[in-house]
Chain A
Amino acid sequence: MAEILRFATAGSVDDGKSTLIGRLLYDTKTIFQDQMDAVEKASENLGSEGPNLALLTDGLRAEREQGITIDVAYRYFATPKRKFIIADTPGHIQYTRNMVTGASTADLAIVLLDARKGVVEQSKRHAFLASLLRIPHLVLAVNKMDLVDYSEEQFNKVADEFREFATRLDISDLTFIPVSALMGDNVVDRSEHMEWYDGPTLLTHLEQVHIASDRNMIDVRFPVQYVLRPQTEEYHDFRGFAGTVAGGVMKPGDEVMVLPSGFTSRIATIETLDGPVAEAFAPMAVTVTLDDEIDISRGDMLCRPNNQPDVTQDLDAMICWMTSDAKFEPRMKLAIKHTTRTARVMVKEVNYRLDINTLHRDEESEVLELNEIGRVTLRSTQPLFIDEYRRNRTTGSFILIDEHTNTTVGAGMILGVAE
């Protein structure tokens, strides 16, 4: 049974990220002949010798003209073992915002660096963002090994340097792989130049890394998304609560509590178009019916009476600010979307701004600007049903929306209830 692995890639400009992705696609035979022809033609026009694999992932016209990637792009490939979704994020100015976006759904991050240069400020930033967004698995791909004579010593030096920095972060699974994206060593095919390396190739690692246990299967969380009331002859009294399971395992007969009302009932059935199912877990999209008639609407949440999320209007959270139109500052009012609830929040305080290069906490700062990250407190107009982001990436995350421009301006990761 093939499952999906979503991963994000990060690297500084010219470390070879586009070449690496191109190599993965090319060596897994994902590239079609007409795409390859187009790349060869474009490579010739640009005067490069041989096809430039980096062009395979170069998207929009503006980027082709400027020779840079401007936004998050998604790529797909599959092997018999897994289907892969790559969130490809560019490595320059808008970096933080783009990487946070790409990382939000990723199971794994590949941080790429140049074997000659070793760990640079950007690599640290990328690793930090991966840990902030709680990507469970991190791969450090040490690229351009061909330019350091495939040296074990150099690889170890870079790996040690990174390991030492990583102790300051919360990363549960860290893997180092020496590669040459250009030559193809250890990307899909095992390198013939690095006998000393006995770990998996990048692709093998992507195929084997264990992700099933990354999802929360303990705390039942079911944000109600849509209420189904057919009112037809056949389904006369049917009242179904449709939604996507955000945590835990739900079964008919289970006792559930409805938030915010606090009423309890039991799950009668879990319905799908294909018939009822015996259990539902994240990220299944199902429809739940209950034994009792309780008034429930979108934005409510089902949980277990003995395992509830925090119900609060006061949020303590890490925020990534994503716009240059306005600064994030105290008393600012924004719309918030958290699970299926939409409310308004007021910014109470910026606790500190985090320097993502040094991890230094600047407690003097009262505001956050574009691409800055900080710990803040917010007060919402309605109670929200929250978990710590580290415990549940769905019930622990939210977005902030500017009510005038309607654009998404902030991404939030919940630490808990603010005092």
Chain B
Amino acid sequence: MAYELSHLRELEAESIHIFREVASEFERPALMFSGGKDSIVMLRLAEKAFHPCKIPFPVLHVDTGHNFPEVIEFRDRRLAEVGARLIVGSVQERIDNGSLKEEPGLNPSRNQLQTPVLLESIEENEFDALFGGARRDEEKARAKERVYSFRDDFGQWDPKNQRPELWSLYNGRIRKGEHIRVFPISNWTELDIWQYIEAEKIEIPEIYYSHQREVVERDGMLIATGPFNTLADGEKAYTETVRYRTIGCMTVTGAVESDADDIAKVIAEVAGTRITERGATRADDRVSEAAMEDRKKEGYF
């Protein structure tokens, strides 16, 4: 008898271990949830970690106000199913009450505005640990980040001053006001996520699968038209068969042309693809090579 685990089962076990460790050692954890595939997998892993109990912490969504409606619908339905409490940090509310300013330009990205709203939600709710769905394969700066990523009073990450992390012994000691960002799926790759979604038959928002959508080509990406998207002079909207590889703000997340209308086809596409998911579909990360690193230092996800 060979006692071996498949790579998905081993990754799953590691993630469950991390969820349980945090629930044991922190007073007020929360799970950051965007409605994207990574956070959906995180939610499933959290269910697995605490079954047959309910997930013992709330879910936090930093809502830019520029979401795909399909994703918000999915979020509400899924959270009701697992019985998790939702806390929303709203960027729109803060713009409306004047405490945040929309960036200039025709179709401003609200990516930068998420950080202050996130930090405010953390303070208001006194969260001491926040689960995030970031993966180390996503991006160079993430490759060095710990599973338990220490944040100071300002939510900042200091890449040069990280705690050593050994075996599966995580150090969650903090002072009041500080917190830890916890990344239970650090060791998963994009392909692992998709394979897991297939193996577990996890439902995801339908915009991940091929569909017809009105888009406009902008900076080499296909951006969905809609209420938040103002067309510039000369831009022409047209209908294309597309799907999304990542989900963020409607205004900056690019769709890719694709016929992959089920999970097997999506996996085949991901396995054969030649461009990283962020490079392909996130205008926010393409600004500069060090863009992500800079944003993380300031307290971004």
Contact A285 to B20, CB < 8 A, known contacts A35-B279, A60-B293:
yes
Most buried by B among A240, A244, A282: A244
Which residue of A is nearest B51, CB measured?
Answer: A273
Indicate whether A391 reaches chain B with its CB closer than 8 angstroms.
no
Please choose the segment from A170-178, A306-314, A396-404 that sits at the chain B interface, where 4 or more of its residues have CB less than 8 A away. Answer: A396-404
Interface size of A by CB at 8 A reads 75
CA distance A287 to B160 in the complex (A): 38
CB pair A104 B167 closer than 8 Å = yes
CA distance A59 to B174 in the complex (A): 27
CB pair B4 A3 closer than 8 Å = yes
Indicate whether A407 reaches chain B with its CB closer than 8 angstroms.
yes
Indicate whether A281 reaches chain B with its CB closer than 8 angstroms.
yes
CB pair B169 A398 closer than 8 Å = yes
CA distance A232 to B52 in the complex (A): 9
Contact A59 to B7, CB < 8 A, known contacts A78-B191, A240-B52, A406-B171:
no
Indicate whether B284 reaches chain A with its CB closer than 8 angstroms.
no
Indicate whether A148 reaches chain B with its CB closer than 8 angstroms.
no
CB pair A35 B276 closer than 8 Å = yes
Name the contact of B279 in the complex, choosing from A32, A101, A215 (C-beta under 8 A): A32
CB pair B166 A3 closer than 8 Å = no
Indicate whether A165 reaches chain B with its CB closer than 8 angstroms.
no
**Within 8 Å CB of B24, what residues of A?**
225-226, 298, 340
Indicate whether A46 reaches chain B with its CB closer than 8 angstroms.
no
**Within 8 Å CB of B162, what residues of A?**
71
**Within 8 Å CB of A407, what residues of B?**
163, 171
**Within 8 Å CB of A82, what residues of B?**
7
CB pair B51 A287 closer than 8 Å = yes
Indicate whether B17 reaches chain A with its CB closer than 8 angstroms.
yes
CA distance A85 to B3 in the complex (A): 20
Which residue of B is nearest A36, CB measured?
Answer: B274
Name the contact of B173 in the complex, choosing from A34, A238, A335 (C-beta under 8 A): A335
CA distance A59 to B289 in the complex (A): 10
Indicate whether B39 reaches chain A with its CB closer than 8 angstroms.
no
Q: Would you list which residues of chain A between 1 and 40 have a CB under 8 Å from chain B? A: 1-4, 32-35, 38
Q: Would you list which residues of chain A between 69 and 124 have a CB under 8 Å from chain B? A: 70-76, 78, 82-83, 85, 97-98, 100-101, 104-105
Name the contact of B50 in the complex, choosing from A76, A228, A322 (C-beta under 8 A): A228
Name the contact of A100 in the complex, choosing from B166, B173, B276 (C-beta under 8 A): B166
CA distance A155 to B207 in the complex (A): 55
CB pair A73 B143 closer than 8 Å = yes
How many whole Å from A214's CB to the nearest CB in chain B? 11
Indicate whether B58 reaches chain A with its CB closer than 8 angstroms.
no
**Within 8 Å CB of A215, what residues of B?**
3
CB pair B3 A74 closer than 8 Å = no
Name the contact of A71 in the complex, choosing from B9, B47, B159 (C-beta under 8 A): B159
CB pair B20 A226 closer than 8 Å = yes
CB pair A71 B144 closer than 8 Å = yes
How many whole Å from A372's CB to the nearest CB in chain B? 15
Indicate whether A294 reaches chain B with its CB closer than 8 angstroms.
no
CB pair A285 B13 closer than 8 Å = yes
Indicate whether B48 reaches chain A with its CB closer than 8 angstroms.
yes
**Within 8 Å CB of A75, what residues of B?**
137, 143
Indicate whether B53 reaches chain A with its CB closer than 8 angstroms.
yes
**Within 8 Å CB of A399, what residues of B?**
166-167, 169, 171
CB pair A3 B276 closer than 8 Å = no
Indicate whether B221 reaches chain A with its CB closer than 8 angstroms.
no
Indicate whether B97 reaches chain A with its CB closer than 8 angstroms.
no
**Within 8 Å CB of A249, what residues of B?**
3
CA distance A35 to B10 in the complex (A): 28
Name the contact of A406 in the complex, choosing from B16, B166, B174, B289 (C-beta under 8 A): B174
Indicate whether B175 reaches chain A with its CB closer than 8 angstroms.
yes
CB pair B273 A230 closer than 8 Å = no
Indicate whether B5 reaches chain A with its CB closer than 8 angstroms.
yes
CB pair A408 B53 closer than 8 Å = no
CB pair A76 B137 closer than 8 Å = yes
Q: Would you list which residues of chain B between 15 and 41 have a CB under 8 Å from chain A? A: 16-17, 20-21, 23-24
CB pair A101 B168 closer than 8 Å = no
- What does the 1/0 interface line of A358-395 toward B look like (CB < 8 Å)? 00000000000000000000000000000000000110
CB pair B164 A3 closer than 8 Å = no
**Within 8 Å CB of B137, what residues of A?**
75-76
- What does the 1/0 interface line of B157-183 toward A look like (CB < 8 Å)? 001101111111101011100000000
Which residue of A is nearest B271, CB measured?
Answer: A78
- What does the 1/0 interface line of A198-238 toward B look like (CB < 8 Å)? 00000000000000100101000000011011101011001
Contact A322 to B273, CB < 8 A, known contacts A71-B159, A242-B20, A407-B171:
no
Name the contact of A226 in the complex, choosing from B5, B23, B167 (C-beta under 8 A): B23
CB pair B275 A33 closer than 8 Å = yes
**Within 8 Å CB of B264, what residues of A?**
none
- What does the 1/0 interface line of A275-307 toward B look like (CB < 8 Å)? 000000111110100000000001000000000
**Within 8 Å CB of B189, what residues of A?**
76, 78, 83
Indicate whether A337 reaches chain B with its CB closer than 8 angstroms.
yes
CA distance A273 to B55 in the complex (A): 12
CB pair B136 A74 closer than 8 Å = yes
Which residue of A is nearest B191, CB measured?
Answer: A78
CA distance A411 to B159 in the complex (A): 21
**Within 8 Å CB of B275, what residues of A?**
32-34
CB pair B143 A228 closer than 8 Å = no
**Can you spell out 13 A-B residue pairs with CB atoms less than 8 angstroms apart?**
A62-B160, A78-B189, A98-B164, A101-B165, A229-B53, A271-B52, A285-B12, A285-B17, A338-B169, A397-B169, A399-B171, A406-B175, A407-B163
Since A105-B168, A243-B20 are in contact, a sample of 20 more A-B pairs with Cβ atoms closer than 8 Å, ordered by chain A residue number, is A1-B4, A33-B274, A70-B160, A71-B160, A73-B143, A74-B186, A76-B137, A104-B167, A225-B20, A225-B24, A226-B50, A249-B3, A274-B48, A282-B3, A284-B5, A285-B16, A399-B167, A401-B173, A406-B174, A408-B164
Q: Top 5 A-B pairs ranked by shortest CB distance?
A: A34-B279, A285-B16, A406-B173, A104-B166, A273-B51
